[in-house]
Amino acid sequence: MNAPPVVNGDGRRVPPTPAEAEAVEQVRKQMDRLCWTGILLGLAFTMTNVQSFAANGAVAWSLPWLAAWLLDPMVSLMLLAILRAEQVTARYGIRTSGWVRGAKWFTLAATYVMNTWEAYAAGAADMVVLHSVPPLVVFVAAEAVTDLREKLREAVRATVTNAGAVSPDTDSEQAPEPARDRPPKAKRRTSFDEYLRWAREAWNTDVTVTPAWIRDVTGCSRGLSSWLAASLSAEVSADDR
């Protein structure tokens, strides 16, 4: 859904600028880094409790005690692999099977149970709360991060599409400088679909689609080029299949 247009003091519509798409892209990158940092810290916090659960009172530095340290990284690495793959498939609009979601929920549930087992067994409510928070934060972040990335991607697309819908007589910046066979001047802002069409026309089987190549053939902004590259790559992959 497109964002509402901005209107200035005299009632004339103010078009979005490429800087707005760039700003949304920067927010997406910051959100991605912060969410992944929180997920990694949450999994690191659970490691000692899972090790204690797996060691089950084994003598320190004995083989069972050392082997117990492997359990939490094993589960966490599986979870991180699934989350990373979900980000990529969501970017290209590919739905995963129920097995993928089941594996994610199972690894999250296993981490929660092993992290809180001793607290439940001891009947310590405060420890249950303490050791429940990190796994639940990881669970919530894992569910939210993929959806947030997709919504921010839609925000970038909406910003550019709204800019393309501005009428020619609107006071706005000029379109980006022409590149190669692109029309020399545009009377209105360029939409996402137009950028994508230019890139599609310039592409051939000898070309590797990258954001740098997209910028070269369309003249779009750096932030927008990554989304255009992802969209064109998805089309190319679909055609190959």
pLDDT digits (tens), the chain, 241 positions: 444 444 444 444 444 555 666 777 788 788 888 888 988 898 888 898 899 889 988 999 999 999 999 999 999 899 889 888 887 787 777 788 889 989 988 998 998 999 899 889 889 999 999 989 988 888 888 778 777 877 777 777 676 655 554 434 444 444 444 445 554 444 456 778 888 888 888 888 888 888 889 888 888 887 788 888 888 887 877 666 5
13 within domain boundaries:
no
User: DSSP of 109-144, one letter per residue?
Assistant: HHHHHHHHHHHHHHT-HHHHHHHHHHHHHHHHHHHH
Amino acid, single-letter form, for residue 23: A
Domain holding 200, by residue range, is 175-240
Is the domain of 208 the same as that of 147? no
Beta-carbon count within 10 A of 54 CB? 17
Query: CA dist 51 to 46, 68, 75, 103, 164, Å?
Result: 9, 5, 12, 21, 56
Classify residue 10: in a domain, yes or no.
Answer: no
Number of domains the chain is built from: 2
Mark whether 88 and 27 lie in a shared domain: yes
DSSP 208: P
Do 182 and 228 fall into the same domain?
yes
Q: Confirm whether 9 is domain-assigned.
A: no
Determine, yes or no, domain membership for 49. Answer: yes
- Pair 197, 144 in one domain: no
Helix (H) or strand (E) holding 145: helix 125-164
d(CA 27, CA 111): 30
Domain co-membership, 133 together with 225: no
Q: pTM for this one?
A: 0.57
